[in-house]
Amino acid sequence: MKNRIVAEIFKDIAQMLEIKGENHFRIRAYERASQNIDSLPDDVELLAKEDKLKDIPGIGKDLEEKMREIISTGRLKYLDELKKEIPEGLLQMLDVPGIGPKTAKVLYEKLDIQDIVMLERMAHAGKIRELPGMGEKTEENILAGIDIVKKGRERLDLRTAMDIAESFVSKLEKIKEVKKADAAGSLRRVKETVRDIDILVSSKEPGKVMDAFTGFDGVKDVLAKGPAKSSIRTNDNIQVDVRVVEAESYGAALMYFTGSKEHNIKLRQIAIKKGLKLNEYGIFKGEKRIAGKTEEEMYKALELSYIEPELREDRGEFEASAQGNLPDLVKLSDIKGDLHAHSTWSDGSSSIEEMVIKAKELGYEYIAITDHSQSLKIAGGLDNHTLELKRKEIERLGNKYKDIKVLFGAEVDINSKGEMDYPDDVLKEMDIVIGAIHAGFKQSKEVITKRIIKACENKYVHIVAHPTGRLWGSRDAYDIDFQEVFKAARDTNTVFEINSFPQRLDLNDINARMAKDSRVKIAINTDSHTAEQMDMMRFGVAVARRAWLEKKDVLNTATFNKLKLKKTMF
């Protein structure tokens, strides 16, 4: 699929035009096109062949031609020309939090800084503080930002990792000699970020499997090649390890390479206590293998009930398993609707109707359209008048699509004092109100904690979205006193969100589990800005499972009739 390449090129163009100070609408057109293409399920190459590129929202004649050029040549002359004016390193600098196009331009023109390496050097040398409008604090922020970017590059986000793993697993499964193939490691435990891709294969002819694997398209370097283990690096510099075992050891190896390391260590201790030996080939009583073919068999031999991969972190799963108290984890199929989604009414790229159609396809009973509130101008926040028009549109669609409920809501900014961006009489009229912080991230822990508590105390704020503001690779979570916040949430019946965006996954597994332990309800939402992004629900569900959540802990597993949309205690 060339979708990613096209989307990246359009995004680069948008940023270059921004550095050049071009017209806002042109920039927005490229951004939107990039967003739409990135979340498209169809292969753009096929669409081009069928002459359907112009059906993609936001793609007019000009962008269609540019797409064709990228699809057939892998590059775009227009971007090459822009690159002559603006060095590519400047674009990477925009990944550093706090560096926008304007700052990048100043740094380039005054200090000739052209990439992140030079940026870091100049900040260390104290050169940036000498520029007008910048100071020591700016330098500190830039250095902290560079650390976040570096950290982000060390680990893959879940979506990227799953895409790569799925493509390798399906290619391996097509090899005649392969009986079975599964992703293992942190990816199978569905951790929010993943360092490398571990794949396990069952086969009697490892040599042939490894020959095929190391020769796959997209393999840049072969780092190691042997019958038991081979490692490659993809064109995008991602490491993929494949291990081949025989069927009788497949369960043992899957267990071992799924980890976590902490879980494995405990497993081995349990085996030793029972006078057994456990390794990646099986469980042995003396010389005799008593388990190894499946994971179920392995756990059973240790007198444990099966532990789902998401729970294998040595966070209490052994005790729960031995006592028969493991949670019945929430599943993607339990989800009955999405309670946080945007549309073209604010900064989304799909119309409300397109969102509704997608929600129907997913089998949902309800979808909440929660565009941004008035202060968030850059994201097209709605004023009172537009809100009324939007309400009418939602009513119209509600009449047109009888088998799904379309909820009228908003993602309302919690301002720096903890006040909501719409007055109570406006909030009162909404089916659902989501409170969210979009500015003032640098406030102290006490202030941010108070802001969120104040939002919880508003009787119309039903859900707090992406509570810690974390954006993997570009912004650290802000510090919150969750003890205090969850206490307020429980007392006020406020629900907290697990945001399914792969860069967010916020609340994370640890915080969401703490929410459950504090008897705070969770909503798993996608925060979609295009209809296709509604498929990201699976990432949020993964976090929920890692947090030990069951169906009853999650608000949007309720059928519409049972869905409590208002706070009950006020």
Q: Least distance to ligand DGT from the beta carbon of 239, Å?
A: 9
b/e sequence 136-146, b meaning 16+ C-beta within 10 Å? eebbebbeebb
Q: Least distance to ligand DGT from the beta carbon of 188, Å?
A: 8
Q: Which is nearer to Ca ion, 198 or 347 (CB)?
A: 198
Neighbours of 315 (CB within 10 A): 18
Assign 528 to helix, strand or coil: strand
**Contact (Cβ atoms closer than 8 angstroms) between residue 422 and residue 373:** yes
Q: Which is nearer to ligand DGT, 48 or 276 (CB)?
A: 276
Binding to ligand DGT by residue 160, rule CB under 6 A?
Answer: no
> In the set 101, 185, 251, 418, which binds ligand DGT (CB under 6 A)?
185
- The token duo for 6 is 């096209």
Q: Which does 259 bind (CB under 5 to 8 A by kind): Ca ion, ligand DGT, none?
A: ligand DGT
Q: Which is nearer to Ca ion, 99 or 240 (CB)?
A: 240
Binding to ligand DGT by residue 266, rule CB under 6 A?
Answer: no
Q: Which is nearer to ligand DGT, 256 or 482 (CB)?
A: 256
The DSSP line for 427-473 is HTT-SEEEEE--S-TTS-HHHHHHHHHHHHHSTT--EE-STT--BTT
Q: Which is nearer to Ca ion, 70 or 194 (CB)?
A: 194
Q: Which does 419 bind (CB under 5 to 8 A by kind): ligand DGT, Ca ion, none?
A: none
Contact partners, residue 135, CB within 8 Å, separation at least 6: 129
The DSSP line for 157-171 is EHHHHHHHHHHHHHH
- The token duo for 459 is 């009787």
> In the set 265, 272, 389, 439, which binds ligand DGT (CB under 6 A)?
265
With CB under 6 A as the contact rule, which of the stretches 189-197, 242-250, 286-294, 483-491 interacts with ligand DGT? 189-197
Please, which of residues 203-262 interact with ligand DGT by CB under 6 A? Answer: 256-257, 259-261
Binding to ligand DGT by residue 271, rule CB under 6 A?
Answer: no
Q: Which is nearer to ligand DGT, 240 or 480 (CB)?
A: 240
Contact partners, residue 398, CB within 8 Å, separation at least 6: 405, 406
Q: Which of 107, 112, 136 is nearest to 124 (CA)?
A: 136
Q: Least distance to ligand DGT from the beta carbon of 186, Å?
A: 3
Q: Which of 239, 224, 146 is nearest to 187 (CA)?
A: 239
> In the set 194, 356, 464, 515, which binds ligand DGT (CB under 6 A)?
194
> In the set 186, 234, 449, 557, which binds ligand DGT (CB under 6 A)?
186
Cis omega (within 30 of 0) for bond into 40: no
Q: Least distance to ligand DGT from the beta carbon of 151, Å?
A: 13
- 152: phi > 0 → left, psi -120 to 50 → alpha, else beta; which? alpha
Binding to ligand DGT by residue 548, rule CB under 6 A?
Answer: no
Q: Least distance to ligand DGT from the beta carbon of 564, Å?
A: 38
Which residues in this chain contact Ca ion in the complex, by CB under 5 A? 185-186, 196, 198
With CB under 6 A as the contact rule, which of the stretches 123-131, 188-196, 397-405, 544-552 interacts with ligand DGT? 188-196
- The token duo for 60 is 């007019």
> In the set 39, 230, 264, 468, which binds ligand DGT (CB under 6 A)?
264
Q: Least distance to ligand DGT from the beta carbon of 339, Å?
A: 30
- 473: phi > 0 → left, psi -120 to 50 → alpha, else beta; which? left
Q: Which residues pair with 370 in a beta bridge?
A: 409
Query: What is the total count of residues that contact ligand DGT (CB under 6 A)?
Result: 13
The angle formed by the CA atoms of residues 38, 24 and 27, to the nearest 5 degrees, is 25
Report the run of H or E that residue 123 belongs to, with start and end.
Answer: helix 116-124
Q: Which does 295 bind (CB under 5 to 8 A by kind): ligand DGT, Ca ion, none?
A: none
Q: Least distance to Ca ion from the beta carbon of 132, Å?
A: 47
Q: Which does 264 bind (CB under 5 to 8 A by kind): Ca ion, ligand DGT, none?
A: ligand DGT
Q: Which spans of this chain sit near ligand DGT (rule: CB under 6 A)?
A: 185-186, 194-196, 198, 256-257, 259-261, 264-265
